[in-house]
Structure 1
Amino acid sequence: MPVSLSVVRTACLIALVAPFTLHAESAVHVLTGTLGKSPIVVELNLTSAEEVTGRYFYEKYHKDLPLSGSSKGNDLTLTEGLSYDDQADLPKLVLHKNPDATWAGQWSSKGKTYKVQLAERAIAAPDQAAEPGWQDIYKQSAYDYLRLTQLPLKADKKTTFMGHALQWWVEPASGVSMFEITSGYPTDQAARINQQLRARLWQEVVSYNECMLNASRSGGDFVQTVTPHLLTPGIVSLNVFTSYDCGGAHPDFGDSPLNLDAGTGKALTLEDVLWVGKGAPLHYERDEKGDGSFETYSDYRSKQFAPWLVAQLKATQPADMQAPETEDDCDYTDPSVWEFPSWYFTEKGVYFGPYFARVQRACEGPEWSVVPYSVVKAHPGGTKLMLPE
């Protein structure tokens, strides 16, 4: 969902001189201004005049409120709700584009009306001193980036794991947290590792806000547990377990580990660590441009990797890997549940987590599905790693 200590920097906002048009090529626009006396930030997707979508947040609260509606000429008519919300009493937002490319209008709800003044701004990209991960988030969404600049982190608990001191940090609005490593690695090495951890923290904050936006009609839930699993001279490995309800038919949960080469601080793909195919290891997850198609990658996972993994687990965990007696039991002998597993390093080997269909999600997270390092080392991936004995 991200981390060294940096000071949260305020984004520099520069006014645009280019006119703000409503043509299809306009795509996504970020505006800042006021609703009544309250500062707000607005994002609008103006690709389709018939289906304008967007969101906004009050700078005091930073919580997304959805917008949907349509445009006609220089006028926007929006409802404060998702496109499928049909409540008659939802707040309304009506805006008109002025000749100077600013926007003016009013927000109204239940007899109350407030003046709205907005202007599109060019959001300056974060500089090298900005928080790790902000550069990538800025490229994804200037709106999300602006919100992050207003969310200072708070120092939380201090813990120790495998002889390393950990300082935990939390973003209070979302409750998302992550640690940084404050002892046990050389300074430059720790800085590279902590940059990855902090970047992951911020990305999880973005994910939290996306979830809450989608669940804005009924209220959502987004709870994470971060667990370090291995801190050695060669490897940093942790798991992020998220339980979430983002407005879909059912709540859900899942693992999203982060595995780093401690020497370089770079994130590792499974093919960096383990390769059971022919020729050089694929690196589709890391570089989609240079290492073939997803079809090639998927073919390797389904026809070579997954059957190999099933065979290894049958050899080391025969009792747990027995075929089920009924269709309702967990079938860990089915290679398809191991094609795209979650994975992370442990002291004993590499842990693999299978993926089941929703009706059998309780089958996920077995404690025993670990491939020993002696086996992993016999099938090295594309990156030379210092693995435990």
Structure 2
Amino acid sequence: MFKGLKRLAPCAAVLFSLISIAHAEEGPRVFTGTLGKSPIVVELNTSKDGEVIGRYFYEKYHRDLLLTGSSSDGMLALVEGENRYGEEEPLPTLKLKETGDGLQGEWHSPQGKKLPVKLADARLPASPLTTLPFIAALPQSAPYEYLRLQDLKLKAEKKENFMGYELQWWTEPESKISLFSVESGLPKDEQQRVNQQLLGRLWREVISYHGCLLQGGVNTDFMQQAEPKLISPSVVSLNIATSYYCGGAHPDFGDSPLNIDVRTGHPLSLADVLWVGEGQPILHAERDSAGDQPLSATDSAAYSNYQREVLVPWLIKQFTMLHPDEMKKPAEDDDNACNYSDESIWGYSPWYFTAKGLYLGPYFARIARACDAPEWSVLPYSIVKQHPGAVKLQLPKG
């Protein structure tokens, strides 16, 4: 599908064209079938006694429709969509009953139109040899999303030369989510691992887009911009800025960087790069290829304590020495000032590599979000190198 992204898959993927999905007793159940003559994919969670919540999409459109309702003695009574903001408009309904391998029933429109519904437990097409690791893992972790992504394709957009590396930009047309792959400048095997992370992240953001649409309804807004920040023989670093409204009182925005260890293809944690505590870093790079392996409860508590009591005070001290005017605590009566000396804004800083140093951004509450992303909060590599993390990286001179 993409140059440099082929990888070997288990022989089973070659031998079997379909993978049966057995639903977990307490997890959502995924079905494929038809509503009228239109193919649909349905996910239903019936883990709570008598309560059903789920969603479905038409294969032609891919956009989720909310389902809520109840179940009793193998019969499901569902409502499609929801009334928001005090509305009381009639909504479509579905009446379904359990069969040996799925559900059957009818869809009713508010105007009285009826269409037959026939669903069977989903059987997922096997992943091709070229499938990204992120997508190959979805049949087990998120089969509904796996089925959605089957018909979505990336469109090749512009090519760009960044810091001597050729980048190919890709866009998923429905969500308009874009990200790049590295086409030249890295050894072939390293380039492949990096691109698996980059394009896996693109598809992860497509899933987030659809989740936002489901949660926010017709007034949803989800815009995203990815920007490469540093590419070197050691790291690929980029920032993903998202502006979104997924329902609720106010829209919001935020940064979600991605930093990749070129040698292994693993995402980097801040403690992989910078460690100012005693002993060995709590976080390390020995994680799965998707970077999703959670910390144990003990390590999570220890790292939170390290952030709060060691890292944040240290960062404030460094930035106060580097940028005393910006870090000066504002007067109490200055409601419009940004208080960068507040420890609470540095606890979970978005961070990425730049040519000059490690950028660490503060995170303010919504009322003061205009204070986010100051240009000056860059920690020079000369300081970072004095406090190396768990991964040995060749950092720029800065």
Tell me the TM-score normalised to structure 1 length: 0.91
Residue 337 of structure 1: aligned partner: 345
User: In the TM superposition, what whole-angstrom CA distance separates every residue of 1:44-72 from its partner, at most 9, and x where no partner exists?
Assistant: 00112432000000000001011000001
Describe the superposition over 1:25-45 as per-residue Cα deviations: whole angstroms up to 9, x where unpaired.
Answer: 353100000001100000000
CA distance in 1, matches of 2:160, 2:263: 23
State how far apart, in whole Å, the 2-side matches of 1:61 and 1:183 are: 35
> Which is further off, 188-197 or 343-352?
188-197
2:327 match = 321
- Give the match for residue 80 of structure 2: 80
Q: Which residue of 1 aligns with 2:364?
A: 356
Q: Secondary structure at the match of 2:382?
A: helix
Which stretch shows the higher mean deviation, 100-109 or 38-47?
100-109
- In structure 1, C-alpha distance between the alignment counterparts of 2:219 and 2:184, rounded to whole Å: 40
Which one scores higher on RCO, CA 8 angstroms, separation ≥ 6?
1
Say whether residues 1:195 and 2:203 are aligned partners.
no
Distance 1:172 1:4 in 2: 22
Which deviations, in whole Å up to 9, do the C-alpha atoms of 1:110-131 show, x marking residues without a partner? Answer: 2211111111124366365312
Q: Distance in 1 between matches of 2:349 and 2:295?
A: 23
Equivalent position amino acid for 1:43 in 2: E
Give, in whole Å, the separation in 2 of the partners of 1:198 and 1:141: 17
Equivalent of 1:295 in 301, 322, 335: 301
- Retained in 1: the 8 A contact 2:55–2:65? yes
Q: Distance in 2 between matches of 1:278 and 1:230?
A: 29
d(CA) in 2 for partners of 1:14 and 1:342?
A: 39
More deviation, 270-279/133-142: 133-142
Q: Deviations over 1:175-214 (max 9, x none)?
A: 1111001111111111111111011011111111110100
CA RMSD after TM alignment? 2.4
Unmatched segments (≥5 aa) in structure 1: none
Equivalent residue, structure 2, for 1:180: 181
Which piece of structure 1 moves more, 315-324 or 66-75? 315-324
Aligned partners of 1:6 and 1:93: how far apart in 2?
43
Task: After superposition, give the CA deviation of every residue in 1:85-132 in whole Å (9 maximum; x if it has no partner).
Answer: 86341111111112x333211111122111111111243663653124
Give the match's secondary structure for 1:283.
coil
Kindly, what percent of the aligned residue pairs are identical? 49
How many pairs are equivalent?
Answer: 378
Which residue is equivalent to 2:396?
A: 388
CA distance in 1, matches of 2:384, 2:116: 63
Kindly indicate whether the alpha-carbon contact (under 8 Å) linking 2:284 and 2:391 is maintained by their aligned counterparts in 1: no
1:25 is matched with: 25
> What is the rounded CA distance, in whole Å, between the counterparts of 2:75 and 2:29 in structure 1?
15
Moved more, 100-109 or 188-197: 100-109
Structure 1 match to 2:254: 254
SS of the counterpart of 1:344?
Answer: strand
Once the two structures are superposed, residues 211-247 of structure 1 have per-residue CA deviations (whole angstroms, 9 ceiling, x without a partner) of 010012x420110000000011111100000001111
2:344 and 2:19 mapped to 1: Cα distance? Answer: 51
Displacement of 1:150 after TM fit?
1.2
Matched, 1:143 2:144: yes
1:230 alignment partner AA: L
Q: Write out per-residue CA displacement over residues 289-309 of structure 1, whole angstroms, 9 at most, x where no aligned residue.
A: 568332211110011000100
1:284–1:294 Cα contact (<8 Å) kept: no
Match of 2:47 in 1: 47
Go from structure 1 to structure 2 and tell me whether the alpha carbon gap of 1:366 and 1:136 turns closer, same or farther (over 3 Å shift): farther
2: CA distance, partners of 1:233 / 1:6: 21
**1:230-241 alignment, distance < 5 Å:** 230-241=230-241
- Alignment map for 1:210-229 (pairs within 5 Å): 210-216=211-217, 218-229=218-229
How many Å apart are 1:135 and its aligned residue? 2.8
CA deviation after TM superposition for structure 1 residue 334, in Å:
1.0
- Aligned to 1:167, what secondary structure does the other structure show? strand
Contact 1:126/1:138 (8 A) holds in 2: no
Secondary structure class of the residue paired with 2:203: helix
- 1:57-76 to 2 correspondence within 5 Å? 57-76=57-76
Question: Relative to structure 1, is the Cα distance of residues 156 and 34 closer, same or farther in structure 2, using a 3 angstrom cutoff?
Answer: same
1:305 aligns with 2:306: no
Q: Distance in 1 between matches of 2:132 and 2:113?
A: 40
- Residue 134 of structure 1 corresponds to which residue in structure 2? 135
